[in-house]
Amino acid sequence: MRFQPALDKIPVYEAGKPIELVVREYGISPDKVIKLASNENPYGVSPKVENAIREAVYKMPLYPDDSYRNLKDALASAHKVDAKNVIQGNGSDQIFDFATRSVLDPGDKILQNGKTFSMYSIYAGQCGAETISVDSVIHDLDLFLDSYKKNSPKIIFICTPCNPIGDALNKDDLFSFLEKISPETMVVVDAAYMEFGKTRDPRKEVQASELISKFPNALYTNTFSKIYGLGGMRIGYGIGNEELIQAFYKLRPPFNVSQLSQLAATIALEDRAFVEEYLKANLKELLRYEAFAKTKGLPYFESYTNFITIELDKARLTSTSLFETLLKEGIILRNLKSYGLNAIRITIGRPEQNDIVLDRLEKLL
Amino acid sequence: MRFQPALDKIPVYEAGKPIELVVREYGISPDKVIKLASNENPYGVSPKVENAIREAVYKMPLYPDDSYRNLKDALASAHKVDAKNVIQGNGSDQIFDFATRSVLDPGDKILQNGKTFSMYSIYAGQCGAETISVDSVIHDLDLFLDSYKKNSPKIIFICTPCNPIGDALNKDDLFSFLEKISPETMVVVDAAYMEFGKTRDPRKEVQASELISKFPNALYTNTFSKIYGLGGMRIGYGIGNEELIQAFYKLRPPFNVSQLSQLAATIALEDRAFVEEYLKANLKELLRYEAFAKTKGLPYFESYTNFITIELDKARLTSTSLFETLLKEGIILRNLKSYGLNAIRITIGRPEQNDIVLDRLEKLL
């Protein structure tokens, strides 16, 4: 059988190692494993969500309300937009998929940062499109603009704050950049880590309502996987002008978010106290890692997220070797070798998890 | 912004009306609503699954094990194939999406039954492909063969038992047909209702292992939404030869099935008694509807599923009018008008639900 030639070129996404793997491979008991590899919420999920899901198990047999009205109304209200500007996704991943498939033809181009979330390029590749990566580790909008002019990409992906580096753009800089982009070019602003960013520095805050009213070609995406602690439930969303959202709806499979997931997300939005407490604790613990890196003289990226990326001195230790040493002890971090960096990305854990990790790093680095 | 021209032609999937809608529109209390519109399991889900999910809510923050090893091993064992032959989907819908996107170019064709599950055509349309529908209500493989020869489709979709009609092919007839199809043409056998079919007549049973070993171009798909009562959890799967499954993996988004969904599916597979009891009860109650239709002189399709499709005498009543009358009373059935039929599709409910529905139909028809 002849498959789409585009498939040959698609790289495979490398996910953070799951706890199950460490249990299987090294016989470590699941409650002993410290997983700080996938930027999940180390405090879990709001107890209100847990209770709501326990009570809603009887709903599992029923297809979701395919209008997703409750969830979309809640999101619209949280972001001060109309429900018509919102589309829910099976993770924000699915929104990237809608974005690429709605405009890209084989041979088209997308533009992204040198180091960024790897799925943009994978979805673009599925459409037969080419990925142009700006030659920068931290987002450099001047370089973006040069490359935009040279390559005429159909989509620009901006990840702010950026995974896996941790940097974030000032809103004013982003908006100045957007003013120079043709309204025919879609600009995706992946705001998965936005609340962490604005907690550290309010200048980083990009609000969906302001973004889409000023730039009809912009798409704001966000996720319930990070601050809301629902990574396992697969819920993200996109906010954009109505024409864009309607195009995405043409590509949306029915029931694209599960019954329990949409409920979990709707309840999670209501428990703002849970989120605020996490944001505060995260920043406090993040600063411990930065202090550690400073003391050790290790280069790190100032982080506006719930993780920190630390570069290693290659002569002494590769990220792969550090990653593997810790994996065998049941500590799962993220090796950034596949991003072309001799660096390790550590999700900021709970204080007691960070104590253990910092203690081990102190000895190993 | 210029969107893919293929998007213009995509019809919108019409889902069964959710309970939430009836509650909103007609102020009927949710526990008074009888929803027999989406072929969900009216007995719900296995209590073992409910318990497992209640206990697993703490897993919501964690991304699933992206290898889906537990679920795939369980499916491989249930279907006597290798885990390499299995891919999980966010509903079997997602498997159809993988199938179409892996081979279809704009201008290509797919072949399907005259009346069939509407998503095949929607996914094909997203690829810019054309849908050729055989001019038959019940699958007619001779007509399929004629059309196949004339149109050279890249994919043939066979839905057996078939939604929304209820008919099923004998396995021997299907296999004779498959022998006449080029190995370059993918044949998708959508077996979502297979267990209902084989319960009524063992000749209808198509086993995944036999299908894919005899026909490397065949893809078997199934779902947890029907017999396992997990419609709201969005889990389906495809079974095919390794080359096919590997191509699909290139298109699979990471974490495509939620943490709780994969757990629910894995546990559901273990509770065979729950399924067997449902299959027995379903057939018994289905025969009540067939007897009713016979008595009334209403044409119906002998059903190998958990629903029955009854045609209405247009002169007396349209399906739209019957549908709307009952909707206002809190009884949700499926109007098949959009399929070009003056017919109503009724999911076989629990005995007490069927009592009420049959009583109303007795008076209205």
pLDDT at B14 over 80: no
- CATH code for the domain of A289: 3.90.1150.10
- Do A207 and A110 lie in a common domain? yes
Which chain A residue is nearest to residue B57, measuring alpha carbons? A50
**A59 shares contact with chain B (CB less than 8 Å):** yes
pLDDT at B308 over 90: yes
Which chain A residue is nearest to residue B23, measuring alpha carbons? A65
- Cα angle A340, A345, A347 (rounded to 5 degrees) comes to 155
Mutation site for A-interface testing, chosen from B41, B57, B338 by largest number of A Cβ within 10 Å: B57
- Of the two residues A235 and B25, the one the predictor is more confident about is A235
pLDDT at B108 over 70: yes
Query: Do residues A261 and A93 touch, judged by C-beta distance below 8 A?
Result: no
Rounded distance between C-alpha atoms, residue B304 and residue A5, angstroms? 39
pLDDT value at position B213? Answer: 98
Core vs surface per residue B237-263: b (16+ CB within 10 A) or e:
bbbbbeebbebbebbbbbbbbbbbbbb
- Do B27 and B137 lie in a common domain? no
- Do A278 and A224 lie in a common domain? no
Nearest to B259 among A57, A101, A233 (CB): A233
Q: How far is CA B268 from the centre of its chain?
A: 18
Please list every residue in chain B whose beta carbon sits closer than 8 Å to the beta carbon of residue A253.
90-91, 93-94, 97, 119
One-letter amino acid at B247 equals A
- Which has the closest alpha carbon to B231: B44, B31, B13? B44
Which chain A residue is nearest to residue B248, measuring alpha carbons? A7
Which chain A residue is nearest to residue B235, measuring alpha carbons? A258
Which chain A residue is nearest to residue B49, measuring alpha carbons? A57
pLDDT value at position A24? Answer: 86
pLDDT value at position A198? Answer: 98
The confidence band for A17, taking pLDDT boundaries of 50, 70 and 90, is: confident
The number of CA neighbours under 13 Å toward the Cβ of A361 is 28
- Do A114 and A162 lie in a common domain? yes
- Which has the closest alpha carbon to B156: B121, B206, B105? B121
- Which has the closest alpha carbon to A308: A237, A361, A254, A250? A361
Decide if B61 and A45 are in contact by the 8 Å CB cutoff. Answer: yes
- Do B80 and B20 lie in a common domain? no
The confidence band for A20, taking pLDDT boundaries of 50, 70 and 90, is: confident
pLDDT value at position A23? Answer: 86
Phi then psi for B303, rounded to 5 degrees? -110, 135
- Cα angle A90, A122, A340 (rounded to 5 degrees) comes to 120
Number of independent structural domains in chain A: 2
pLDDT tens profile A312-340: 977 688 999 999 999 999 999 999 999 99
pLDDT value at position A119? Answer: 95
pLDDT value at position B252? Answer: 95
The percent of residues above 90 in pLDDT, for chain A, comes to: 90
* Alpha-carbon distance B316 to nearest alpha carbon in chain A (angstroms): 32
Mutation site for B-interface testing, chosen from A1, A98, A108 by largest number of B Cβ within 10 Å: A1
Rounded distance between C-alpha atoms, residue B49 and residue B265, angstroms? 8
Instruction: Over range B262-285, report the average pLDDT.
Output: 98
pLDDT at B68 over 90: yes
Instruction: Over range B170-180, report the average pLDDT.
Output: 98
The confidence band for B22, taking pLDDT boundaries of 50, 70 and 90, is: confident
Which chain B residue is nearest to residue A20, measuring alpha carbons? B65
pLDDT value at position A106? Answer: 92
The confidence band for B8, taking pLDDT boundaries of 50, 70 and 90, is: confident
Query: Do residues A218 and A81 touch, judged by C-beta distance below 8 A?
Result: no
- Do B163 and B296 lie in a common domain? no
pLDDT tens profile A217-226: 999 999 999 9
- Do A212 and A66 lie in a common domain? yes
The confidence band for A18, taking pLDDT boundaries of 50, 70 and 90, is: confident
pLDDT tens profile A194-219: 999 999 999 999 999 999 999 999 99
> Which H or E run includes A78?
helix A69-79
The confidence band for A10, taking pLDDT boundaries of 50, 70 and 90, is: confident
pLDDT value at position B84? Answer: 96
The percent of residues above 70 in pLDDT, for chain B, comes to: 99
Decide if A38 and B63 are in contact by the 8 Å CB cutoff. Answer: yes
| Structural domain for B315, as ranges | 5-45+273-364
- Do B81 and B144 lie in a common domain? yes
Average pLDDT, chain A: 95
The confidence band for B316, taking pLDDT boundaries of 50, 70 and 90, is: confident
Of the three residues A237, A256, A271, the one that is the final residue of a domain is: A271
Nearest to B63 among A15, A54, A186 (CB): A15
pLDDT value at position B297? Answer: 93
- Look at strands A331-332 and B331-332 and give their pairing: unpaired
* Alpha-carbon distance B189 to nearest alpha carbon in chain A (angstroms): 17
Which chain B residue is nearest to residue A232, measuring alpha carbons? B63
Query: Do residues B302 and B341 touch, judged by C-beta distance below 8 A?
Result: no
**B53 shares contact with chain A (CB less than 8 Å):** yes
Decide if B4 and A102 are in contact by the 8 Å CB cutoff. Answer: yes
**B255 shares contact with chain A (CB less than 8 Å):** yes
- CATH code for the domain of B199: 3.40.640.10
**What is the number of CB-based contacts under 8 A between chain A and chain B?**
230
DSSP A324: H
Instruction: Over range B314-339, report the average pLDDT.
Output: 92
The percent of residues above 70 in pLDDT, for chain A, comes to: 99
Interface of B with A in 140-199 (CB under 8 A): 183-186
pLDDT value at position A51? Answer: 98
- Do A145 and A70 lie in a common domain? yes
pLDDT tens profile B31-62: 899 999 999 999 999 999 999 999 999 999 99
pLDDT tens profile A47-103: 999 999 999 999 999 999 999 999 999 999 999 999 999 999 999 999 999 999 999
- Do B71 and B116 lie in a common domain? yes
Rounded distance between C-alpha atoms, residue B75 and residue B46, angstroms? 17
Of the three residues A271, A293, A318, the one that is the final residue of a domain is: A271
pTM beyond 0.90: the answer is yes
Decide if A250 and B10 are in contact by the 8 Å CB cutoff. Answer: yes
pLDDT value at position B315? Answer: 66
pLDDT value at position B7? Answer: 86
**B119 shares contact with chain A (CB less than 8 Å):** yes
- Do A138 and A219 lie in a common domain? yes
- Do A92 and A170 lie in a common domain? yes
Please list every residue in chain B whose beta carbon sits closer than 8 Å to the beta carbon of residue A243.
1
Of the three residues B227, B244, B271, the one that is the final residue of a domain is: B271
Instruction: Over range A103-121, report the average pLDDT.
Output: 96
